[in-house]
Amino acid sequence: MNNLQLYNRVFIESFQVISDQLENLTYRSIPAWDSVGHMAMIAALEETFSIMFDPNDILDFTSYETGKQILTKYNILF
């Protein structure tokens, strides 16, 4: 799987959504992406890409799209 597929899989599994929903997904836009879901998704990304987020990035990670930009800081390129 490439990085985008891995990234998508984390979202789909963390929030139980389908791939069509991903593009517009933002924090708190669906019940599953609440505070608890957020930390679970962050943990899953850290595990998938073997990285450790800076706390500021955890707070700034407010949408599916922003998340991709944040990950580039950790050399995860799409």
Partner 1 sequence: MFLDLDEKEKSIIAAIDDRGVSTTYGEICGFAEEFCSLIKRRTLIFILSENSTGSLAGYIASLSGRIVPLLLSCNIDRGMLANLIAVYQPEYLWVPERYLSGFNYSLIFKKYEYILLKTGLKPFDLHDDLSLLLPTSGTTGSPKLVRHSYLNVEINARNVAASAGLVPEDRSIAILPMHFTMGLFVMNSHLVTGARVLLMQQSLTDRGFWQFIKDQKATNLSGVPYNFEVLYRLRFFRMDLPDLRLLIHGGGKLKYELFVEFAEYAGRTGKKFISGYGQTEGSSRMAFLKPEMALSKPGSIGKAITSGHLSLIDENGTEINEIEAVGEMVYRGPNVTLGYAQSGTDLAKGDENKGVLHTGDIARRDADGYYYVAGRLSRFLKLYGLRIDLDEIEHMIRSAFDMDSLCTGNDEKMIIKITDNTLKEEIHKYVIEKTGLFHTSVDVAVIEEIPRNEAGKKIY
Q: Which stretches of the chain bind partner 1, using CB under 8 A?
A: 14, 16, 31-32, 34-40, 42, 55, 58-60, 62
C-beta of 34 vs 77, nearer to partner 1: 34
Per-residue CA distances from 59 to 2, 32, 38, 53 (Å): 26, 17, 9, 10
C-beta of 17 vs 22, nearer to partner 1: 17
**Cα gap 78→1, rounded to integer Å:** 12
- Kindly state the smallest distance separating residue 32's Cβ from partner 1, in Å: 7
C-beta of 34 vs 72, nearer to partner 1: 34
63: which DSSP letter?
B
